Structure 1
Amino acid sequence: MRILDTHLHLIYRDRISYPWVKGAGGLDNDFTLESYLAEARGLDIESALHMEVDVAESDIEAETAFVTGIDPFVVGAISSARPENKDFPAQLERLMEIGNVKGIRRVLHVVPDEVSQTRLFVENLTHLKRHDLSFDLCLLARQLPLGMALADAHPDTQFILDHCGVPDVEAQALDPWRAYITDMARRPNVAAKISGVIAYAGKDWSVETLRPFVEHVIEAFGWDRVVWGSDHPVCTTTASLTDWVTATRQLIAGASEDEQAKLLHRNAERIYRINP
């Protein structure tokens, strides 16, 4: 079963500035497409979307231009952007000129909660629909109501909830995360990404410690509104890419072939508007 990875991070420190990696241990390194492909090609990962890596604001467009031209394996990019800024509409225009931008993301757990709730931020997201762009929600579990408010304000815009809503898997903290996910899934313009959970599960993770979180997200959103992402190289803080793909296949082993195809590539092609 082929896989479209909707959450690949590439780090080229000689080209782009990544301020956050300075204190990120093993992630303060280069993670190239070549190194990823060396493992991914043996796992039936046939294409990927590049997910922005919270680069320095001055490098946002440089990152997007670089990754969209790096190799046909990368079928599009979710670019960083700054909806809290007045020049956001102009920034979107510049990103669209680069081409092959499928959506944008603003990491919201690195800024005060109020940032995403300002009138300017909310109004700026109206420009996404005009460009047929989606918005990836990257929030901590406690911040999920902030994401619901954004989705409610823009019912005609596609939102994708990254990393299963960032639950504390290691502590098996199902609540109140579980109720938030159920509530989020009531919004038809939100899909969920099965990604990231292995990085939150600690070094002693197992398929069974991941299972209640992955299964709840799939149950809440249904097989038509879930996509899969590696979150590479962040996943390597607790596991290898091979470990995460293997765990995913074990977690969905009881699903039908059609359901597995929806999660692993078909939904992503529809939601991110990718021609297979």
Structure 2
Amino acid sequence: TSKFHDAAYFGEGAKRRDAYTEEEFEIQAVACGLDVDRCVFVECMLGDAVAEASWALERCRSHDSKIGAVVAHAPAPDGGDAVEEFLRRLPGCDAHRKPAGLAGGRVVLLGDPMPHKFACLDPLYGEGLGALHARGLHWEWCCRPESLPAVATQSSRFPDMTFVLDHCGHNAGGDDFKTWSRDVAALADRCPNILCKLGASEEWGLQSEKPGQFIKHAISVFGADRCLYESNFFVGHAAHGLAYDHAARLTYDALAGEQPGCCDDEDAVALVFAGNAKRVYGLGH
């Protein structure tokens, strides 16, 4: 069945279910008036990473699914051998090719206990990234703001590899716009091989600050050609009660600048909402 599991996304006492279906995803998008052509399945921290990725890759091959690419829970932090063993267990993968639909990997720099802010600089982590790069796969960073300098350092060691910074690099960052804005600008300048996903503001822990200024700043330092819209389904709706188009509206308004709801830069909108994703994830190929 077409299910997304809620894994570790709900706090104590939060309303949760066993799974959220792909059909629900499409219903929510249509209800908000959004025409989703293709989407990307990003790992959900399930216990069996091979089973999760295999299921998602199977959906990629299905004509009745909008999933066009998969970012798997590939164990780069555990080194190159661990990555190769993970890939070997996926259907359609051998020593010379990657499975059709597999675009990249991610293991979040979050959790309990929280990884050290320099965790991604471990030599094994670098070996794991190198193994993914050799297979033509990219890597996604999902981290707290305090990890941004280390993320920049590690990403700069692989200048020909593509990296994606999820959630604007502001998970649980709170209202400290000053520190985040400085560090994310430094990262964008140092690492032209990093793109930034604009979304998941419900996970930033904002109290008084508005998410729009964070998204606008990300667009200003990365440029529209290095930014991607992210819906954060199912977490935004199921855990925080947000409409599916919440992140889309924030992103569109950030692109519009002084005229929210009316963006004249059609090229920028096309890049952020479609073109960059097609390029990075191979959607439509």
TM bin (shorter chain): 0.7 to 0.9
| Alignment correspondent of 1:173 | 176
1:52 maps to 2:27: no
Residues 199-255 of structure 1: CA distance to partner in whole angstroms, max 9, x if unpaired? Answer: 4366x89xx922210110000000110011101122121521133333333332335
Moved more, 189-198 or 218-227: 189-198
> Per the alignment, in what secondary structure is the counterpart of residue 46 of structure 1?
coil
- Alignment match of 1:112 (pick from 98, 112, 115): 115
> Structure 2 unaligned runs (5+)?
94-98, 257-262
> Structure 1 unaligned runs (5+)?
1-8
Q: Which has the higher helix share?
A: 1
Aligned residue type for 1:48: C
Write the distance in 2 (CA, Å) between the matches of 1:120 and 1:192: 25
| Alignment correspondent of 1:161 | 165
Residues 54-76 of structure 1: CA distance to partner in whole angstroms, max 9, x if unpaired? Answer: 111xx111111112222431001
Distance 1:118 1:130, change over 3 A: same
Write the distance in 2 (CA, Å) between the matches of 1:21 and 1:72: 26
- Give 1:121-136 correspondences, 5 Å limit: 121-136=125-140
| Alignment correspondent of 1:232 | 233
| Alignment correspondent of 1:243 | 246
TM-score, with normalisation over the residues of structure 1? 0.84
Aligned Cα RMSD in Å?
A: 2.5
Question: Identity rate of aligned residues, in percent?
Answer: 23
Equivalent pairs, count: 258
1:90 maps to 2:85: yes
1:66 maps to 2:75: no
| Alignment correspondent of 1:265 | 274
Distance 1:182 1:256, change over 3 A: same
| Alignment correspondent of 1:75 | 68
- Give 1:36-47 correspondences, 5 Å limit: 36-41=25-30, 42-47=33-38
CA contact (8 A) 2:172 2:203 kept: no
TM-score, with normalisation over the residues of structure 2? 0.81
Q: Which has the higher contact order (CA 8 A, sep 6+)?
A: 1
